[in-house]
Amino acid sequence: MLQRSPESPDTAAAAADGTVPHVQQLRQALLWPLRLMQAPGAGVTDDAQASRAPWQVLRDLGERSPWREQFDEYTGDTEGFHERHYNEFVAFLPYVQRFLYGHGRAQRGHDDAGAAGSPMRIFRRTDIAAARVVPRPGDAPVTLSVVHIDLYFFFGVEVVLLNVEVLSENLPLPLAQDLMYRFGRAYPPGWDARGEPLHCLAAFEWLDADGSVLAASDAQDQEAFLRHVAEHRAPRIARHWEFVLAPLVNHHSTAEGPLRYRQIEYHRMPMMAYLALDDPRRLSRHDFIRLGLVTGGSETLATALGPDGTGGPLPFAESHLADFERQFCYDRFWAEAGAAPHTRYLCSGPALVVVGTSGSEFFRCKDRGVLAQFRHQHFLLFLIAHLQKATLLMYSDRLAEALTSMDVTVPSSVKRFKRQIRLTYVAFLGFTHRYWFHEISEQAHVKALFHMCTRHLGIDALYAEVKDRVHDMNGYLDADSLRRQANTVVRLTVVTIFGLIGTVTTGFLGMNLLAEPDAPLATKLAYFFAVLVPTVVLTMYTMVKSKRLSDFLDIVSDERVPVWTKFKAFFAVWRSPDA
C-alpha cells in the first residue's frame, strides 16, 4: 500500500510525543451526484437515443473507455461471496433488497431492462492507483491509495453517482481533518490575493501504478474558470475530475462525448470518512465538531492544540453549536462496553463520519466489524439518501427547463412542452415506486443513520415540493385537454344547430327540389358538386365563426335579454374584432 509522504517537522514531532491525536487509518469515500444530459441537438423524440440506457452507451465503447462494468458478488461467481456481503444483504428490508440486488440470480449484462436484475449498474476504472495531494501551499505532499473508483447508474433515472474511495495511514488529526475538508471539491469556490484556490487542495495529481502522473489539477488557473462562467453561465469542472469522469464530458464544455453530465448539487461532494485513532477519548468536543461538520483542520499546530493543549477554537459560534450532540451525533456505541468501544457516528447529511479505536479488532475488521459495515451497509444507506435527493433535484430542473423553453405562440413548442411534462410525470411515478423509501432497515443503527441523513438533507420536504410541482404541471395539461375538448364540443354544437336549419328546410316531407332521376351522369355530378362545394364552404365558415355564434346562441337562449339586444348580438357575429 502506498504510504503518506513525510510530515512537516513540527507536526511530526507533535505526533511522535502524543500531543496531537493520531489517525492510524483514514478512509474517505466521495459520492458525487451528477445529472446526465442529452447530447446537443438530440430531442425528446429521438427514439434511438432514448432506447439506449447510459450504461449501455458506456459499455458499448469497449476499449475506447477505461470503465468496465462491475459484476459484483451478487451477480458474479459465488466463490467471491463472503460473510460481509451476506451481512450487507440481510441488513436491508425486502423491497430495498430488490432495489439493490434484483430478483433472483440474474446477470446484469443480460437484464438491461431492469425487470429481474438490480436497477443499479456499476462501472469501475482501475488505471488510477493513487492520488498525490498537497493540502496547503508549503505543506509536504501526501500520497493516498485509491481503493476504487466507480460510477453508479440507475434504471429510469438520469443521474449518475461517482464514487471515489481513498486510504491513508499514520496521519496527525489536523492533517486528516484538512484532507476530509479539501479533497472532494469539483472546482475552487474562489481565490485568495496570491491566486491560490480557496478551500481546495493546493495541488492534486492522479498517479498510475508506476507513479506516473495521469492528470493534475488546474485550480490555480483562475482565468480559465472565470472565462468559462462568463461564456456558459455554468461552472467549469477542474481538470483532474474531468479526467476521472472521461469519456463522460461536461455538458457546458466544447468537448465531444457520448455521455454528458451537469452539476446538480453543490460543488463540495458528499463524503464518508472512517477514522481509526489510538484513543478517540482524547478528542475534544471541538475536534468532533470539526470532524462532524467537516470544517477542516486549524491553520497551525498551535491553533490546532489550543491554549490548553487540546481542541483548538470552535469553527462557529457557541450558540450555533449548542445542540451539536443531539443534532449530529449517534452515540449508541460511545461507551466502554461492546465489541468496538468508544465508536461514534457523526452525520450532517452531506457527510457521514465514523470514529473509533484502532486497537479494537472489531472496529478494524473487514468482514464483520465496523469497517465492513462502513464500506457496505453504511455506504449503501448514504448512497440511497443522496440518490433520492439528486433525483428529486433533477426532476425539479426538468420541469423548470420545460416551462422555460415553451412558447405559447409556437405550436411545436407547446407540443414539445406537453411531451416533456408527460415523460417527467411517468418517470416520477417510476422513481416513487422504485427508489423512494422512508425505511430501509430494521437494524437500529442503520435505521437511525438513514433517518439522520435524510433529515439533514431535507429529502421529505423536497419530495413533497417536487411532487406538488409535477402534479400541478400534469393538472395543467389535463385542464388544457378538457378545455380543448369543450371548445371542440362547442364548435360541433354550433355547426349542428345551423346545419339543422338547412337539413330541415331541404328535407321537409322528403321533398326533392330537383327531380333528376333520369338525368345524365354528368348532370347529376354537376348538381352534386354545385351543392357540395357551398355546403363545405358554409360549414367551414360556420366553424370559423363558431365562437361568436356560440355567444349569440347563449344570448338568444337567455329570456332576460331584450329582443333588440339579441339582434345586435346576431350582427356582432360579423363585426370586425377591432371594432
Q: Residue 151: which residues within 8 A CB-CB, separation 6 or more?
A: 58, 67, 122, 123, 124, 160, 161, 162, 163, 248
Using CA atoms, how far residue 409 sits from 217, 345, 422, 491, 528, in Å, is: 47, 56, 20, 22, 40
pLDDT for the residue 370: 94
Choice among 144-153, 262-271, 334-343, 564-573 with the minimum mean pLDDT: 564-573
Q: Residue 256: which residues within 8 A CB-CB, separation 6 or more?
A: 249
In whole angstroms, what is the distance from residue 290 CA to residue 519 CA?
103
Most confidently modeled of 92-101, 306-315, 374-383, 484-493? 374-383
pLDDT for the residue 301: 41
Q: Are strands 329-330 and 344-347 parallel, antiparallel or unpaired?
A: antiparallel
Of residues 315 and 31, the one with the higher pLDDT is: 31
In whole angstroms, what is the distance from residue 120 CA to residue 37 CA?
18
User: Phi, psi at residue 548, to the nearest 5°?
Assistant: -70, -35
Please report which confidence band the pLDDT of residue 9 belongs to, taking 50, 70 and 90 as the band edges: very low
pLDDT for the residue 4: 43
In whole angstroms, what is the distance from residue 464 CA to residue 467 CA?
5
Please report which confidence band the pLDDT of residue 410 belongs to, taking 50, 70 and 90 as the band edges: confident
Residue carrying the nine cell digits 453508479: 152
Contact 570, 552 (CB under 8 A): yes
In whole angstroms, what is the distance from residue 553 CA to residue 426 CA?
42
Mean pLDDT of the chain: 82
pLDDT of 305 above 70 = no
pLDDT for the residue 134: 94
User: Model-level pTM greater than 0.75?
Assistant: yes
Share of the chain above pLDDT 70, in %: 79
- Taking alpha carbons only, the member of 393, 177, 379 closest to residue 266 is 393
Under DSSP, the state recorded for 95 is H
pLDDT for the residue 308: 46
pLDDT for the residue 501: 62
Choice among 69-73, 134-138, 288-292, 372-376 with the minimum mean pLDDT: 69-73
pLDDT for the residue 45: 41
Choice among 53-62, 74-83, 158-167, 295-304 with the minimum mean pLDDT: 295-304
Average pLDDT rounded to a whole number, residues 227-237? 90
Contact 219, 240 (CB under 8 A): no
Share of the chain above pLDDT 90, in %: 46
Contact 390, 154 (CB under 8 A): no
408 in helix, strand or coil? coil
Average pLDDT rounded to a whole number, residues 97-108? 68
In whole angstroms, what is the distance from residue 196 CA to residue 183 CA?
15
Average pLDDT rounded to a whole number, residues 210-228? 93
- Taking alpha carbons only, the member of 236, 245, 133 closest to residue 182 is 133
User: Phi, psi at residue 511, to the nearest 5°?
Assistant: -70, 135
CB atoms within 10 A of CB 120: 23
- Taking alpha carbons only, the member of 334, 354, 337 closest to residue 345 is 354
In whole angstroms, what is the distance from residue 527 CA to residue 240 CA?
82
pLDDT for the residue 307: 47
pLDDT of 395 above 90 = yes
pLDDT for the residue 419: 87
pLDDT for the residue 225: 92
pLDDT digits (tens, 9 = 90+) for 438-486: 999 999 999 999 999 999 999 999 999 999 988 888 887 777 777 767 7
Choice among 34-38, 47-51, 255-259 with the minimum mean pLDDT: 47-51
Under DSSP, the state recorded for 142 is E
In whole angstroms, what is the distance from residue 473 CA to residue 128 CA?
45
Of residues 230 and 481, the one with the higher pLDDT is: 230
Please report which confidence band the pLDDT of residue 99 belongs to, taking 50, 70 and 90 as the band edges: confident
pLDDT for the residue 575: 74
Q: Which amino acid is at 301?
A: L
With 0-12 CB in 10 A as exposed, 13-18 as middle and 19+ as buried, what is 45? Answer: exposed
pLDDT for the residue 552: 67
Please report which confidence band the pLDDT of residue 239 belongs to, taking 50, 70 and 90 as the band edges: very high
Residue by residue, DSSP assigns 231-254 as HHSSPPPPHHHHHHHTTEEETTSS
145 in helix, strand or coil? strand
pLDDT for the residue 452: 95
Cis bond before residue 247 (omega within 30° of 0): yes
Please report which confidence band the pLDDT of residue 578 belongs to, taking 50, 70 and 90 as the band edges: low
Q: Residue 7: which residues within 8 A CB-CB, separation 6 or more?
A: 15, 140, 172, 175
pLDDT of 104 above 80 = no
- Taking alpha carbons only, the member of 54, 94, 200, 85 closest to residue 137 is 200
User: Phi, psi at residue 483, to the nearest 5°?
Assistant: -65, -45
Of residues 459 and 71, the one with the higher pLDDT is: 459
User: Which residues in 10-27 are b (16+ Cβ under 10 Å) and which e?
Assistant: ebeebbeeebbbbbebbb
Of residues 392 and 98, the one with the higher pLDDT is: 392
In whole angstroms, what is the distance from residue 23 CA to residue 360 CA?
14
pLDDT of 6 above 60 = no
